[in-house]
Amino acid sequence: MFEHFDINNFVIGKQSGVAQGIGVLDSLDAIREDVARRFAQSAHDRRSAFHTPVVATADADARVMVLRSFDEANWTMRFHTDARAPKVYTIARDSRVGVTVYDREANLQVRARGIGRVVLNGLLVDAAWESSTRFARRCYLGAGPGELADSPTSGLPPQFEGAEPGYDELAPARENFAVLLVEISEFDWFSLAQTGHRRAVIARESARWITP
C-alpha cells in the first residue's frame, strides 16, 4: 500500500500554491484540488489551520498533531510520533484513522478518513529525523508519553530542561522516533455559508454532493 511513495514528498512536502479563502466552489474537481492544495501548503505554513489537524484513532482518542507533509499524488499525510505512544499500539490493532480540520477564516471543515501505519525504520524515517531540529529531537529523549509521574513534569532528563542537547546526546532518542503515515481514502468537505451550507464527499476515484 505504501511502497510506491516518493520520499521527497515526505521530507519537505510538496507546495503547489497558496490556498486562499474558500470563495465559491461549485465543482467537485475544484474542491478536490482545493483540499489537496490546502493540506500540501499547510506543511510549510504554521499559521494555516490545516497545519495542526486533530488526529483520531479507532479507540476514539484524539489529539492535535503537526502535519509534516502531504503527498498529493498518493493522498498520504506524514506526522511524527513517539514510538512508545499509546496510539502506536492502537493503530497496530486497528489502522483506521480520522483527521479533522476546521478553518475558521474560510468557514471550512474537512474530515479525512484513512488507514494509518507507523514506520520505525528506513530511509523515510531517517530523512524525517535528519530534517528535525535538535529541540524537536529532544522530545524523544525522555520518558514515554502517558507514563505516571509524582508531580508535573516534562519527562525530560534534568540536564536537558530548557537546554538544547548536542547531536551525540540526542543519539539515544532516535529509537523512540517514528513516522505516522495516513493514506486518505476520502475527504468529507463542509463549507459553511449564510446563503446555505454545502457538503461533498471526495474519494480517490469518485466524488459526490450530499446534504449538509
Q: Does residue 140 lie in a domain region?
A: no
Regions of the chain short of the pLDDT cut 70 = 1-24
How far is 187 from 178, CA to CA, in rounded Å? 25
Q: Does residue 135 lie in a domain region?
A: no
pLDDT at 24: 56
Residue 73 burial by CB count (10 A; 0-12/13-18/19+): exposed, middle or buried? exposed
Q: Does residue 169 lie in a domain region?
A: no
Burial per residue of 23-37, b for 16 or more beta-carbon CB atoms within 10 angstroms, e otherwise: eebeebeebbbbbbb
C-alpha cell read off for 130: 535528519
How far is 76 from 81, CA to CA, in rounded Å? 16
Q: Does residue 191 lie in a domain region?
A: yes
Q: Tell me the pTM.
A: 0.86
Q: Are 82 and 141 in contact (CB under 8 A)?
A: no
pLDDT at 26: 81
Domain that holds residue 12: 7-127+178-210
Q: Are 189 and 35 in contact (CB under 8 A)?
A: yes
Q: Does residue 151 lie in a domain region?
A: no
pLDDT at 154: 93
Angular region, 164: left φ>0, alpha ψ -120 to 50, beta rest: beta
pLDDT at 106: 94
- If you search the block for the grid coordinates 471526495, which residue do you land on? 202
Q: Does residue 47 lie in a domain region?
A: yes
Q: Does residue 136 lie in a domain region?
A: no
SS3 46: coil
Domain total of the chain: 1
Q: Does residue 99 lie in a domain region?
A: yes
CATH of the domain at 77: 2.30.110.10
Q: Per residue in 125-150, pLDDT tens?
A: 999 999 999 999 999 999 999 999 99
pLDDT at 2: 47
